[in-house]
């Protein structure tokens, strides 16, 4: 078989591979992203399965081991009333990760719809939406977040909704810019000439071309969201005890930083690790979903 025939077959194989397969191949070559993905999966498994394997419930008290450091019986130690910190950390991580994922989903959904409307229609509607986006970007969101969380936030879903309602403008700006770029492209004009509806053009023709940046920024939002949730928990404005989260676990242990720093360092370490994993996975997805990196 000639070299030309082999080259032709290899080229055909490369072209015939789906974009998803090519993206996965590029993502696998991003070593830090793969390590972060495995590490995040292990932490998620520990958060979900760990409490079921422990002999302690998150509210059980061991009066023979009050406020102790790490030991064989209590690997993460105990709090001042004898509750096992490993179970509480795992359950707190479960709640914090759930809130972060819900924030990422809600923020992405709101920002995508608003950004798509602004970028596709333009004109007065686009200008009005753009001014709303700018308004949300310039207001001191952390202060408003604290006020809204103090007023409405107590459960995980309420906290996620409050944070999402203040976090969507960044996604909206990205989607708006992408829709402005694609709305006058030839494939959109052809679909419009063929009689396709506005909704079909927006969400079946343009949105798939914006999918990469949306997924990347949604992944990065997980890290931002878990830091915001932990900040509120540390300030006592997030999910309130007895339900543990990583933020309020740090808040509960802040008085014992000198005598038992592990009580704050362990949940803080999980927060940092989850944030780094989300950022590395986002970097890997950015490289994997970048159309310019595809071989011709």
Query: What digits encode the pLDDT tens for the residues 99-129?
Result: 899 999 999 999 999 999 888 887 788 888 8
Global pTM value:
0.82
> What are the structure tokens assigned to 46, written together?
């520990």
Task: Extract the tokens encoding 255.
Answer: 């008085």
Q: What is the pLDDT of residues 207-223, one digit of tens each?
A: 888 888 888 889 989 98
Question: What is the per-residue pLDDT for 177?
Answer: 87
> Mean pLDDT throughout 163-180?
87
pLDDT of residue 22: 81
**Among 43-52, 199-208, 219-228, 250-259, which stretch is predicted with the lowest mean pLDDT?**
250-259
Q: How many other C-beta atoms can be found within 10 angstroms of the C-beta atom of residue 102?
A: 19
- C-beta atoms surrounding 257 within 10 Å: 12
CA–CA distance from 243 to each of 47, 58, 196 (Å)?
14, 9, 50
Q: How far apart are CA 172 and CA 176, in angstroms?
A: 6
Rounded Cα gap, residues 77 and 200, in angstroms = 56
What pLDDT, on the 0 to 100 scale, is given for residue 154? 67
What confidence score (pLDDT) does residue 146 get?
76
Range in 92-96, 202-206, 273-277, 292-296 with the lowest mean pLDDT:
292-296
Phi and psi, residue 83, nearest 5°:
-85, 140
Q: What average pLDDT does the segment 199-209 reach?
A: 86
Residue 197 has pLDDT above 60, yes or no: yes
Domains annotated for the chain, with CATH where assigned, are 21-52+84-293 (1.10.3720.10)
pLDDT at 294: 46
pLDDT over 70 at 82, yes or no: yes
> Average pLDDT of 9-26?
62
């Amino acid at each position: 078989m000639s070299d030309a025939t082999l080259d032709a077959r290899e080229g055909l194989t490369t072209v015939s591979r789906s974009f998803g397969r090519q993206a996965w191949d590029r993502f696998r070559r991003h070593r830090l992203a793969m390590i972060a993905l495995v590490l995040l999966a292990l932490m998620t498994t520990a958060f979900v399965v760990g409490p079921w394997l422990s002999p302690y419930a998150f509210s059980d008290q061991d009066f023979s081991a009050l406020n102790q450091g790490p030991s064989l019986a209590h690997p993460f130690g105990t709090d001042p009333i004898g509750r096992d910190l490993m179970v509480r950390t795992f359950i707190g991580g479960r709640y914090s990760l759930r809130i972060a994922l819900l924030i990422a989903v809600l923020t992405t959904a709101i920002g995508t719809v608003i950004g798509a409307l602004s970028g596709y229609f333009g004109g007065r509607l686009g200008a009005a939406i753009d001014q709303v986006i700018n308004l949300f970007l310039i207001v001191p969101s952390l202060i408003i977040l604290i006020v809204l969380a103090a007023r409405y936030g107590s459960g995980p879903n309420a906290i996620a909704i409050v944070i999402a309602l203040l976090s969507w403008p960044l996604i909206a700006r990205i989607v708006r810019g992408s829709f402005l770029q694609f709305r006058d492209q030839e494939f959109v004009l052809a679909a419009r000439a063929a009689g396709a509806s506005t909704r079909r053009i927006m969400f079946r023709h343009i949105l798939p071309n914006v999918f990469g940046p949306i997924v990347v920024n949604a992944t990065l939002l997980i890290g931002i969201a878990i830091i915001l949730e932990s900040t509120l928990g540390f300030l006592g404005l997030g999910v309130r005890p007895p339900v543990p989260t990583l933020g309020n676990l740090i808040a509960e242990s802040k008085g014992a930083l000198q005598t038992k720093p592990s009580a704050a360092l362990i949940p803080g370490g999980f927060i940092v690790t989850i944030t780094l994993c989300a950022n590395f996975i986002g970097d890997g997805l950015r490289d994997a979903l970048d159309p310019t990196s595809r071989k011709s």
